[in-house]
Protein backbone atom coordinates (compact mmCIF):
# COMPACT_ATOMS: atom_id res chain seq x y z
CA UNK A 1 0.00 0.00 0.00
CA UNK A 2 1.60 3.31 -1.05
CA UNK A 3 2.33 5.89 1.62
CA UNK A 4 0.07 8.95 1.51
CA UNK A 5 1.96 11.48 3.63
CA UNK A 6 5.47 12.44 4.65
CA UNK A 7 4.59 11.61 8.26
CA UNK A 8 3.47 8.13 7.23
CA UNK A 9 6.68 7.63 5.23
CA UNK A 10 8.83 8.68 8.19
CA UNK A 11 6.99 6.48 10.69
CA UNK A 12 7.12 3.39 8.50
CA UNK A 13 10.93 3.61 8.30
CA UNK A 14 11.57 3.10 12.03
CA UNK A 15 15.30 2.37 11.56
CA UNK A 16 15.79 5.82 9.99
CA UNK A 17 12.90 7.65 11.68
CA UNK A 18 14.99 10.06 13.75
CA UNK A 19 17.24 11.02 10.82
CA UNK A 20 14.31 11.37 8.40
CA UNK A 21 12.51 13.60 10.90
CA UNK A 22 15.61 15.82 11.27
CA UNK A 23 15.92 16.24 7.50
CA UNK A 24 12.18 16.84 7.08
CA UNK A 25 12.06 19.46 9.83
CA UNK A 26 15.16 21.20 8.44
CA UNK A 27 13.64 21.38 4.95
CA UNK A 28 10.39 22.75 6.38
CA UNK A 29 12.32 25.78 7.67
CA UNK A 30 12.63 26.82 3.99
CA UNK A 31 9.85 27.87 1.62
CA UNK A 32 9.63 24.40 0.06
CA UNK A 33 6.37 22.47 0.23
CA UNK A 34 6.34 18.76 1.08
CA UNK A 35 4.55 16.08 -0.90
CA UNK A 36 4.89 12.40 -1.75
CA UNK A 37 6.14 11.41 -5.22
CA UNK A 38 7.39 7.99 -6.29
CA UNK A 39 6.54 6.76 -2.80
CA UNK A 40 8.95 9.12 -0.99
CA UNK A 41 9.00 12.69 0.37
CA UNK A 42 9.73 15.35 -2.26
CA UNK A 43 9.95 19.09 -1.55
CA UNK A 44 8.85 21.47 -4.25
CA UNK A 45 8.89 25.15 -5.18
CA UNK A 46 5.88 26.23 -7.25
CA UNK A 47 5.30 22.60 -8.24
CA UNK A 48 8.92 21.98 -9.31
CA UNK A 49 10.92 19.24 -7.57
CA UNK A 50 13.87 20.67 -5.64
CA UNK A 51 14.93 18.09 -3.03
CA UNK A 52 13.79 14.73 -1.73
CA UNK A 53 14.65 12.34 1.07
CA UNK A 54 14.70 8.58 1.00
CA UNK A 55 15.48 5.71 3.35
CA UNK A 56 17.17 2.59 2.05
CA UNK A 57 18.49 -0.54 3.70
CA UNK A 58 22.06 0.70 4.30
CA UNK A 59 21.80 4.45 3.89
CA UNK A 60 19.65 7.54 3.93
CA UNK A 61 19.68 9.98 1.02
CA UNK A 62 19.05 13.69 0.60
CA UNK A 63 18.40 14.17 -3.12
CA UNK A 64 18.86 17.31 -5.21
CA UNK A 65 16.91 17.05 -8.45
CA UNK A 66 19.21 19.55 -10.19
CA UNK A 67 22.19 18.92 -7.93
CA UNK A 68 24.60 18.86 -10.86
CA UNK A 69 23.99 22.61 -11.17
CA UNK A 70 25.01 23.47 -7.61
CA UNK A 71 28.25 25.46 -7.75
CA UNK A 72 28.94 26.72 -4.25
CA UNK A 73 27.86 23.73 -2.17
CA UNK A 74 29.27 20.58 -3.73
CA UNK A 75 31.67 18.95 -1.24
CA UNK A 76 29.15 16.38 0.02
CA UNK A 77 27.35 15.67 -3.28
CA UNK A 78 27.71 12.37 -5.12
CA UNK A 79 26.22 11.01 -8.31
CA UNK A 80 24.23 7.91 -7.35
CA UNK A 81 24.60 6.32 -10.80
CA UNK A 82 27.64 7.54 -12.72
CA UNK A 83 26.99 7.61 -16.45
CA UNK A 84 23.22 7.34 -16.00
CA UNK A 85 22.17 10.27 -13.85
CA UNK A 86 22.56 13.68 -15.46
CA UNK A 87 21.07 16.16 -12.96
CA UNK A 88 20.31 14.27 -9.76
CA UNK A 89 22.87 14.37 -6.94
CA UNK A 90 22.64 13.10 -3.39
CA UNK A 91 24.18 13.34 0.03
CA UNK A 92 24.33 9.92 1.68
CA UNK A 93 24.15 9.21 5.39
CA UNK A 94 24.91 5.94 7.13
CA UNK A 95 23.61 4.96 10.55
CA UNK A 96 25.43 7.00 13.19
CA UNK A 97 26.32 9.91 10.86
CA UNK A 98 25.50 13.30 12.37
CA UNK A 99 22.88 15.29 10.46
CA UNK A 100 24.51 18.73 10.52
CA UNK A 101 21.63 20.98 9.46
CA UNK A 102 23.76 24.16 9.44
CA UNK A 103 26.02 22.48 6.88
CA UNK A 104 23.15 21.05 4.81
CA UNK A 105 20.91 24.12 4.69
CA UNK A 106 23.17 26.09 2.27
CA UNK A 107 22.85 23.22 -0.26
CA UNK A 108 19.07 23.44 -0.07
CA UNK A 109 19.07 27.24 -0.24
CA UNK A 110 21.29 27.21 -3.34
CA UNK A 111 19.00 24.62 -4.96
CA UNK A 112 15.98 26.83 -4.16
CA UNK A 113 17.73 29.87 -5.66
CA UNK A 114 18.58 27.93 -8.83
CA UNK A 115 14.94 26.88 -9.14
CA UNK A 116 13.75 30.47 -8.68
CA UNK A 117 16.11 31.55 -11.45
CA UNK A 118 14.86 28.74 -13.71
CA UNK A 119 18.26 27.04 -13.78
CA UNK A 120 17.61 23.36 -14.41
CA UNK A 121 18.67 20.43 -16.52
CA UNK A 122 15.80 19.38 -18.73
CA UNK A 123 15.30 15.61 -18.90
CA UNK A 124 15.64 13.92 -22.26
CA UNK A 125 12.17 12.59 -23.00
CA UNK A 126 12.90 10.13 -25.80
CA UNK A 127 13.94 6.79 -24.38
CA UNK A 128 13.76 3.74 -26.55
CA UNK A 129 12.92 0.33 -25.20
CA UNK A 130 15.51 -2.29 -26.12
CA UNK A 131 14.26 -5.72 -25.13
CA UNK A 132 17.10 -8.20 -24.52
CA UNK A 133 16.88 -11.55 -26.37
CA UNK A 134 16.13 -13.54 -23.20
CA UNK A 135 13.10 -11.40 -22.36
CA UNK A 136 11.99 -11.26 -25.99
CA UNK A 137 11.99 -15.06 -26.19
CA UNK A 138 10.04 -15.37 -22.91
CA UNK A 139 7.44 -12.86 -24.16
CA UNK A 140 7.03 -14.76 -27.43
CA UNK A 141 6.59 -18.09 -25.65
CA UNK A 142 4.18 -16.84 -22.95
CA UNK A 143 1.32 -14.71 -24.29
CA UNK A 144 0.03 -13.95 -20.77
CA UNK A 145 3.48 -12.62 -19.86
CA UNK A 146 3.55 -10.56 -23.07
CA UNK A 147 0.13 -9.06 -22.30
CA UNK A 148 1.17 -8.19 -18.74
CA UNK A 149 4.47 -6.70 -19.96
CA UNK A 150 2.64 -4.56 -22.51
CA UNK A 151 0.27 -3.32 -19.77
CA UNK A 152 3.24 -1.92 -17.78
CA UNK A 153 4.25 1.71 -18.13
CA UNK A 154 7.14 2.35 -20.55
CA UNK A 155 9.36 3.20 -17.57
CA UNK A 156 8.67 -0.14 -15.89
CA UNK A 157 9.27 -1.96 -19.17
CA UNK A 158 12.66 -0.23 -19.49
CA UNK A 159 13.53 -1.12 -15.87
CA UNK A 160 12.93 -4.81 -16.54
CA UNK A 161 14.72 -4.79 -19.90
CA UNK A 162 17.68 -2.95 -18.39
CA UNK A 163 17.82 -5.27 -15.38
CA UNK A 164 18.40 -8.24 -17.67
CA UNK A 165 20.64 -6.42 -20.18
CA UNK A 166 23.00 -5.13 -17.48
CA UNK A 167 23.94 -8.65 -16.38
CA UNK A 168 27.16 -9.76 -18.04
CA UNK A 169 26.82 -13.51 -17.58
CA UNK A 170 24.18 -15.60 -19.33
CA UNK A 171 23.39 -17.49 -16.10
CA UNK A 172 22.74 -14.17 -14.30
CA UNK A 173 20.48 -12.93 -17.11
CA UNK A 174 18.51 -16.18 -16.97
CA UNK A 175 18.24 -16.02 -13.17
CA UNK A 176 17.03 -12.42 -13.32
CA UNK A 177 14.47 -13.34 -15.96
CA UNK A 178 13.06 -16.12 -13.77
CA UNK A 179 12.76 -13.74 -10.81
CA UNK A 180 11.00 -10.95 -12.72
CA UNK A 181 8.40 -13.06 -14.56
CA UNK A 182 6.07 -13.30 -11.49
CA UNK A 183 6.56 -9.57 -10.85
CA UNK A 184 5.60 -8.68 -14.42
CA UNK A 185 2.55 -10.95 -14.20
CA UNK A 186 1.57 -9.17 -10.95
CA UNK A 187 1.78 -5.81 -12.73
CA UNK A 188 4.41 -4.38 -10.43
CA UNK A 189 7.58 -2.54 -11.36
CA UNK A 190 11.07 -3.78 -10.62
CA UNK A 191 11.73 -1.05 -8.06
CA UNK A 192 8.22 -0.73 -6.57
CA UNK A 193 9.32 -2.40 -3.33
CA UNK A 194 11.61 0.58 -2.64
CA UNK A 195 8.79 3.06 -3.14
CA UNK A 196 6.58 1.78 -0.32
CA UNK A 197 6.98 0.62 3.28
**Confidence at residue 132, expressed as pLDDT on a 0 to 100 scale:** 93
**Residue 195, pLDDT score:** 57
Q: What pLDDT score was predicted for residue 29? A: 96
Task: Specify the higher pLDDT residue, 81 or 137.
Answer: 137
- Residue 170: its pLDDT value, please? 92
Q: Tell me, what's the pLDDT at 181?
A: 95
pLDDT the model gives residue 125: 64
pLDDT score for 124:
64
In tens, the pLDDT along 22-35 reads 999 999 999 999 99
Res 155: pLDDT? 87
Residue 18 scores a pLDDT above 70: yes
Query: What is d(CA 173, CA 79) in angstroms, rounded to the nearest whole number?
Result: 26
User: Is the full-model pTM beyond 0.85?
Assistant: no
Mean pLDDT of 1-19: 90
Q: What is the mean pLDDT of the chain?
A: 90
DSSP 72-117: SS-TT-B-SSTTT-SS-EEEEE-TT----HHHHHHHHHHHHHHHHT
Of residues 7 and 195, the one with the higher pLDDT is 7
Q: Which tens digit of pLDDT belongs to each residue from 145-196?
A: 999 999 999 889 999 999 999 999 999 999 999 999 999 999 998 877 655 5
Beta carbons of 121 and 115 less than 8 angstroms apart? no
CATH 3.90.1150.200 assigned to 6-116:
yes
| Sign (positive or negative) of CA dihedral 48, 80, 78, 102 | positive
The Cβ of residue 125 has, within 10 Å, a number of other Cβ atoms equal to 5
pLDDT digits (tens, 9 = 90+) for 116-143: 998 887 766 667 888 999 999 999 999 9
Whole-number Å distance between alpha carbons of 133 and 175: 14
Domain ranges in the chain are 6-116, 133-194
Amino acid sequence: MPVKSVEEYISCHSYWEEELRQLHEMILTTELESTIKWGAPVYTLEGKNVVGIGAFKNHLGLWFFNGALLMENIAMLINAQEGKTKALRQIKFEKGDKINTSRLLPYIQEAIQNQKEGIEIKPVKVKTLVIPPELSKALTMDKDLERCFNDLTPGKQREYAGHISEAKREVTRQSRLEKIIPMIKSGIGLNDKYKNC
